[in-house]
Amino acid sequence: VETIVRGLRRKVAGKRIDSVRVGLKKMAVAPPGLDFATEVTGERIEGVGRRGKYAVIRLKSGRRLAVSLRMTGRLVVLSGSGPYPYAYVELGLSGGVRLIFADVRQFGRMRLVDRREGWDADLGVEPLSGAFTPDRFIAMLSGRTTPVKAFLLDQRRIAGIGNIYACEALWEAGIHPAKPAGSLLKPAARRLHGALGAVLRRAIVLRGSSIDDYVDADGSKGGFQNVLSVYGKEGTSCSRCGGEIVRTVIRGRGTWWCRKHQKLE
């Protein structure tokens, strides 16, 4: 999402929304009693940011379009008028470009939120922000019996860590994913904190991970999937220690880890 947002920002900041086409109502949500297209038409885009896994398009009125892409959503900027596959929301912008929200599986949402609406109140700390210090992370883990992997994915605690990055960070820190979060000793918690930052920054430099359908605002794939150490690698040997990479399921999510250097005890 960070990569998508960076690409979008360059292309749409400052543009006016001249027209809105909603092809699938559930994908463009407005506050109760308001019509999405009517409200958004005529707005100007001030900027584009990110909060957790949401792309956030800031509008001049102070309102926002909070976009969740889920697994297969795409935000793509196109010039010209040709059709785009699964384009369910289309914003016609000044300068003759279109911002298209497409989603094969239709799980994504573009939601218009009021200035005063606390739409992100359920989202936790941003893992790349200065507020996410090692000490804060240690305090957050304290007393938690949740498997540490599930803790990392809980968007109410830390916002924006997905399955790929949780697996990779735990591998890098040498921590078993099923270990109760509160049982991590301070040195391990510090290692994990460092690994989370390193993995996320590396992924951003490589412009994200293109597993499934992800593409950025230019329609390009990311490069992080080519440098994965553990995610999706069951049956291969660990590049660090030669141990076997295995896949288990933790709280319903596929989880990859090294049997040798990510020990439970």
| Chain residues in the site for Zn ion (CB under 5 A) | 238, 240-241, 243, 258, 260-261
Residue 21 or 261 with smaller CB distance to Zn ion: 261
Mind giving me the DSSP string for 176-215? -TTSBGGG--HHHHHHHHHHHHHHHHHHHHTT---STT--
Residue 182 or 194 with smaller CB distance to Zn ion: 194
Residue 14 CB, shortest distance to Zn ion, in Å, is 49
Beta strand 64-68 pairing with 54-59: antiparallel
Residue 89 CB, shortest distance to Zn ion, in Å, is 44
Cα–Cα distance, 17 to 59 (Å, whole number): 10
Residue 211 CB, shortest distance to Zn ion, in Å, is 22
Q: Are 240 and 261 in contact (CB under 8 A)?
A: yes
Residue 209 CB, shortest distance to Zn ion, in Å, is 21
Tell me which residue of 64, 85, 257, 83 sits closest to 171, measured CA to CA.
257
Cα–Cα distance, 85 to 90 (Å, whole number): 12
Q: Are 75 and 101 in contact (CB under 8 A)?
A: yes
Cα–Cα distance, 181 to 145 (Å, whole number): 6
Beta strand 109-113 pairing with 28-29: parallel
Residue 65 or 175 with smaller CB distance to Zn ion: 175
Cα–Cα distance, 167 to 145 (Å, whole number): 18
Residue 169 or 238 with smaller CB distance to Zn ion: 238
Burial class (CB in 10 A: 0-12, 13-18, 19+), 123: middle
* Count of residues making up the chain: 265
Residue 243 CB, shortest distance to Zn ion, in Å, is 4
Residue 57 or 245 with smaller CB distance to Zn ion: 245
Residue 195 or 258 with smaller CB distance to Zn ion: 258
**CA-only gyration radius of the chain, Å:** 20
Residue 208 CB, shortest distance to Zn ion, in Å, is 25
Residue 170 CB, shortest distance to Zn ion, in Å, is 11
Residue 20 or 199 with smaller CB distance to Zn ion: 199
